[in-house]
Chains A and B, each alone.
Chain A
Amino acid sequence: MSAPAPVASVRGVSLALGGRRVLHDVDLDVHAGEVLALVGPNGTGKSTLLAVVAGDLSPDSGTVSVLGRPVREWRLQALARERAVLPQEQQISFPFPVREVVSMGRAPWRGRPEEDLDDLEVAAAMQTTAVDHLADRSFGSLSGGEKARASFARVLAQQTGILLLDEPTAALDIGHQETVLGTARQQARAGAAVLVVLHDLTLAGAHADRLVLLEEGNVAASGTPTEVLDAALLTRVYRHRVEVVAHPRTGDPIVLAERGTAADADDVDDVARADRPREDTC
Chain B
Amino acid sequence: MTGLFALLGGALAAALLVSAGSGQLPVPAQEVAGSLLHRLGLDWLPLPSHPRGDATLWSVRFPRVAMAALVGAALAVAGALMQGVFGNPLAEPSIVGVSSGAAVGAAGVIVFGLTFAGGWTVAVAAFAGGLLTTLLVYALARSGGRTEVVTLVLTGIAVNAVAGALLALLMFLGDTQAREQIVFWQLGSLNGSRWPYVAVVAPLVVAGVVLALLSARSLDLLALGERPARHLGVHVERLRVGLIVVVALLTAAAVCFCGIVAFVGLVVPHLVRMVTGPGHRLVLPACLLAGSLVLVVADLAARTLVAYADLPLGMLTSLVGGPFFFWLLWRTRRTSGGWA
Show the binding face of A for B, using Cβ within 8 Å. 51, 54-56, 76-81, 83-85, 87, 91-97, 100-101, 104-105, 107-108, 110, 138, 140-141, 158
Contacts and interface: CB of A to CB of B under 8 A. Distances in A.
B333 interface: no
A87 B227 contact: yes
B233 interface: yes
Contacts of B224: 91-92, 101, 104
Contacts, number: 76
B272 to A, nearest CB: 12
B231 A85 contact: yes
Contacts of B233: 76-81, 107-108
B337 to A, nearest CB: 8
Contacts of A79: 233
Contacts of B279: 96, 100
Q: B interface, by DSSP: helix, strand, loop or mixed?
A: loop
Interface in B217-246: 217, 220-225, 227-228, 230-235
Given A93-B222, A138-B336, 15 more contacts: A54-B231, A76-B230, A76-B234, A77-B233, A80-B231, A85-B231, A87-B227, A96-B223, A96-B277, A96-B279, A100-B220, A100-B279, A104-B224, A107-B221, A107-B233
B278 A95 contact: yes
Interface centre among B231, B336, B340 (most CB of A within 10 A): B231
Interface residues of B, number: 26
B88 interface: yes
A167 B180 CA distance: 62
A257 to B, nearest CB: 32
B217 A93 contact: no
Contacts of A77: 233
A105 B220 CA distance: 11
Interface string B85-100: 0011100000000000
B340 A84 contact: no
A107 B339 CA distance: 25
Interface centre among B222, B235, B273, B277 (most CB of A within 10 A): B277
Contact of B225 (A80, A81, A91): A91
Nearest to B283: A94
B220 A76 contact: no
A104 B224 CA distance: 9
Nearest to B232: A107
A101 B228 CA distance: 11
Interface in B179-222: 217, 220-222
B227 A96 contact: no
A56 B227 contact: yes
Contact of B273 (A94, A100, A138): A94
Contacts of B277: 95-97
A94 B227 contact: no
B200 to A, nearest CB: 34
Contacts of B230: 55-56, 76
Contacts of B223: 92-94, 96
B227 A105 contact: no
B235 A76 contact: yes
B196 to A, nearest CB: 39
B231 A96 contact: no
B113 to A, nearest CB: 46
A141 B232 contact: no
B232 to A, nearest CB: 5
A158 B273 CA distance: 27
Nearest to B226: A56
Contacts of A104: 220-221, 224, 232
Interface string B59-88: 000000000000000000000000010011
Contact of B231 (A84, A94, A95, A97): A84
Contacts of B339: 95
A87 B228 contact: yes
B225 A140 contact: no
Contact of B87 (A87, A93, A107, A158): A93
A95 B340 contact: yes
A108 B232 contact: yes
17 contacts: A56-B230, A76-B230, A76-B234, A76-B235, A84-B231, A85-B228, A87-B227, A91-B225, A93-B89, A93-B222, A93-B225, A94-B89, A94-B278, A96-B223, A104-B224, A105-B232, A107-B217
B220 A96 contact: yes
Contacts of B336: 95, 138, 141
Q: 3 tightest A-B contacts by CB?
A: A93-B87, A94-B278, A80-B233
Contacts of A54: 227, 231
Contacts of A87: 225, 227-228
Nearest to A97: B277
Contacts of A108: 232-233
Nearest to A103: B220
A79 B224 CA distance: 18
A80 B88 contact: no
A95 B224 CA distance: 11
